[in-house]
Amino acid sequence: MRLAFFPPSRQPDAVDAEADGFMLFLATERGLSAAYQLSVRQTLDALAAHLRRKGLPLADVGTDELSDFLMERKKSGLAASSLRIATVHLKVFFRWLASRGKLPMDPAEPLLSPRPEQTLPETLHGSEVKRLLDSIDPAQPLGRRDLAMLELFYASGLRLSELCSVRLEGLDLDEGFIRVTGKGNKTRIVPVGGRAREAVTDYLRNERPTLVTRRTSSEIFLSIRGTRLSPDRVRQIVKERAALAGIEQNVYPHLLRHSFATHLLEGGADLRVIQELLGHADIATTQIYTHVDGARLKAIHKKFHPRG
């Protein structure tokens, strides 16, 4: 493996000199990627610049000084996710210094990482989902395939990887269920709604046979070459279909999964049921959709209540 080494871009001071040794350690002893090394180097360069402005030598750096540095980075516009990474960089750097006796103690050990920002998932309105699905003409080339895929995304809340890998033997259209393998190689059974069943049945009868070649295996959704569709190609198809439907919002496969869960919650479905349908190991992951629903209720209240 080719080693990368990122020296400072100016005359070295104490932090720069120790950072050089640390970067060499990451490259030679830890064998970490060049991208990771560059990320660490950027954090340490920013720390060195901060200490120079404050006139602080490395020996005088304590937890308060590192907290001030992170606060300065936050005020400069660094996102919480990037601050978490910078905090990790400081922790591993100062742990390394202390373990080699270059500092009497590790000042970064008490640092707390910023909480990750909780961003609400985007969703499509029900009318937009209808417009997207209704815009696909099954009579057009690959129309049956694309309609079946999008109907299944929305009807069953599948992940992209699950849809690409689902096989004929996992499909029971008579009973209206599909068996998929999700994260952690866990298998779950998910219902397939009426419209999706019709679309998948039409595709399997009238279009999939025309795509089959000697290389074809039992994946349900095939490319024009008879091979399973790749995740990148499915993303492209979803975007193309949304553009043709005149939907300006950025539409991607996971957006249909978010919409599936949000619309179920809005319709009164129990959160535990939604958790099972989505294949979430922890209900805390599913609870993000309660925030989406709460945001919608607040918007309605503000719009229609006299003192909203």
- The tens place of each residue's pLDDT in the chain, 308 residues long, gives 344 544 444 444 567 788 888 988 888 888 878 888 899 999 999 999 999 999 888 888 999 999 999 999 988 888 888 888 999 999 999 999 999 988 889 999 998 877 665 566 788 999 999 999 999 999 999 999 999 999 999 999 999 999 999 999 999 999 999 999 888 788 999 999 999 999 999 999 999 999 999 999 999 999 999 999 999 999 999 999 999 999 999 999 999 999 999 999 888 888 899 999 999 988 878 887 776 656 555 665 566 656 65
Q: Count CA atoms closer than 13 A to 8's CA, side-chain side.
A: 20
280 is catalytic: yes
d(CA 132, CA 114): 39
Q: Active-site residue among 280, 291, 296, 298?
A: 280
Long-range pairs for 191-194: beta carbons < 8 A, 24 or more residues apart? 191/155, 191/156, 191/277, 192/152, 192/155, 192/156, 193/151, 193/155, 193/156
| 58 secondary structure, DSSP code | G
The distance of Cα 160 from the centroid of its chain, to the nearest Å, equals 12
Give me the count of residues in the chain.
308
289 is catalytic: yes
pLDDT in tens, 5-53: 444 444 445 677 888 889 888 888 888 788 888 999 999 999 999 999 9
89 is catalytic: no
Q: What is the amino acid identity at position 80?
A: A
Q: Active-site residue among 95, 102, 254, 296?
A: 254
Domains recognised in the chain with CATH numbers: 14-99 (1.10.150), 126-304 (1.10.443.10)
d(CA 264, CA 271): 9
d(CA 98, CA 165): 49
Q: Measuring CA to CA, how many Å separate 123 from each of 130, 241, 303?
A: 13, 16, 20
pLDDT in tens, 199-238: 999 999 999 999 999 999 999 999 999 999 999 999 999 9
Q: Active-site residue among 41, 73, 145, 159?
A: 159
CB atoms within 10 A of CB 31: 9
183 is catalytic: yes
Contact 125, 296 (CB under 8 A): no
Q: Active-site residue among 144, 208, 257, 263?
A: 257
Q: Active-site residue among 30, 125, 183, 272?
A: 183
